Amino acid sequence: MGEAQIDVEGRRVRYIHGGSGKPFVMLHGWSFNADTWVESGIFARLAQRYSVYAVDMPYGIRSKSDKFRAPRPEYAVFLRRVLDRLGLGAPPLVGPSASGEVVLWYLARGYPAAAAVVVGPVGLTEELLEKLRGVETPILAIWGDRDEISPPSNAELLKDVARVVILKDAGHPAYLDRPEEFVKVVLDFFAEFY
């Protein structure tokens, strides 16, 4: 496992890479960064089977990349440029909270991904939901049953476009509250589509 940086449109983007095999990309929530996946042990578990890229996106209070303010659909465009710079065509994407919204906008804009996992995504607007209806990429939406930021009732909004899993006794960062269950659900999902 190692940390590296790339330049994307004149901005420094930090990421952590480890493992081998097929690649996939993990983003972070607003209050976290790529290190969160490592500290939780989730990165190591997933890197046993895949080549994992945990990217510090240019937003959030702990990101170590160069930050900029933009609407979430524009962050989705930036994500595509990050993937191009890393030489990744259509990897599966994992995004919690704000990054879940970015991943959904990425798909809504027609960008390619083998699969997508979102955790307690925020910003589920009517416009976004409408654009997702034509998306063929398999989507898994995970919620904690105690999520107070994006309540599990929001899962209903995605039920037509995503497979929904609710993790018991988990809050907004359900992957941190239930890491073992999270890893199992993600690996099972990827095994179907990737």
Catalytic residue numbers, as ranges:
97, 147, 172
Write down the residue that tokens 């890491």 correspond to.
179
Angle at 133 between CA 127 and CA 139, to 5 degrees: 105
User: Are 193 and 27 in contact, with CB atoms under 8 Å apart?
Assistant: no
How far is it, in rounded angstroms, from Cα 140 to Cα 120? 11
The closest of 131, 98, 103 to 117, measured between CA atoms, is 103
Q: What is the DSSP string of 59-125?
A: -SSS--SPP----HHHHHHHHHHHHHHHT-SS--EEEETHHHHHHHHHHHTT---S-EEEES-----
